[in-house]
Amino acid sequence: MPMTRSPDWTEDELLLAGALVVKNGWHELRTGDSEVQEMSELLRSLPIHAPEALALPGFRSPDSVSRKTSDFASNHKLYRGKPTRCGKPTLLMIEAFTTREAEMLQAAQAIEDGIGSGELQLIPPQPDEVDETGTTAIEGRLLVRRALARERDPKLRKLKIKQMRNGGRALRCEVCDFDFGRTYGDLGQGYIEVHHVTPLYISGLRDTKLDDLACLCANCHRMCHRSRPGESWRTPASLREHLRNSQQDSGH
């Protein structure tokens, strides 16, 4: 069945549009503004949507970009007029920019840099970049895609395990201390998963360093990655705190 309407705005697109509004002092931008024209071209170049979407005449047109900037500006807490009607993803992005402006601007810049360099277009879609509910990290699926691709680099994983062993550290989860070898014997010896711990908004074009990676069991790795609307990936440190609080609440 042919596509007849533009798909919903993704976190990546909302992030870029939101950054445009923030840089404009939380004011909307008009269709004829050069920044809106450039943003329309950038959004149409993102490797996210199917070709059928790009073929739609109004897909991320300057008019649609201008309307989205109105959503951001008029739904900000300082706006005194009547807000436009917009969806929850836009409201969550407004909240993210309101509470973490510098980080969100860095994330938007990371996407622009990655598209400008051609890097993000070369990374194939990764399993789990969007969860079963269609949610990804608030910074957008393209930065998640890049981080997942780096995590799955077997060379990096091997070097991280070697670093742990050379430092005299046991090969166990850095969150819950689970040891695959202790639990599964020779089947689990030498096994661990690696997580890209560097925040997505500062995970730029530089090569991944071993200190950017943490060793995690499969469960904790999944919980670090678990996406909830409006949230970022959890760091091992924040997940460790969450686990500690959960255990205290349950009386363990």
pLDDT, tens only, 85-136: 999 999 999 999 999 999 999 999 999 999 999 999 999 999 989 988 889 9
In the block, tokens 């995970």 appear at 203
Q: What is the mean pLDDT of residues 209-218?
A: 92
pLDDT of residue 175: 97
pLDDT of residue 159: 94
Neighbours of 98 (CB within 10 A): 15
Max mean pLDDT among 38-47, 200-209, 238-247 falls in 38-47
Residue 104: which of 139, 146, 145 has the closest Cα? 139
Q: Is the pLDDT of residue 67 over 70?
A: yes
Q: Is the pLDDT of residue 63 over 90?
A: yes
> Any alpha helices (H) in the chain, and if so which ranges?
11-23, 34-45, 51-54, 62-74, 88-99, 101-117, 119-122, 141-151, 154-166, 180-184, 218-225, 236-249
Residue 10: which of 142, 112, 105, 146 has the closest Cα? 142
> What angle in degrees, to the nearest 10, is found between the helix axes of 141-151 and 101-117?
70
d(CA 189, CA 171): 9
- For the stretch 154-204, pLDDT in tens is 999 999 999 998 988 889 999 999 999 999 999 999 999 999 988 887 755
**Structure tokens that stand for 126 in this block:** 């990764």
pTM above threshold 0.85: yes
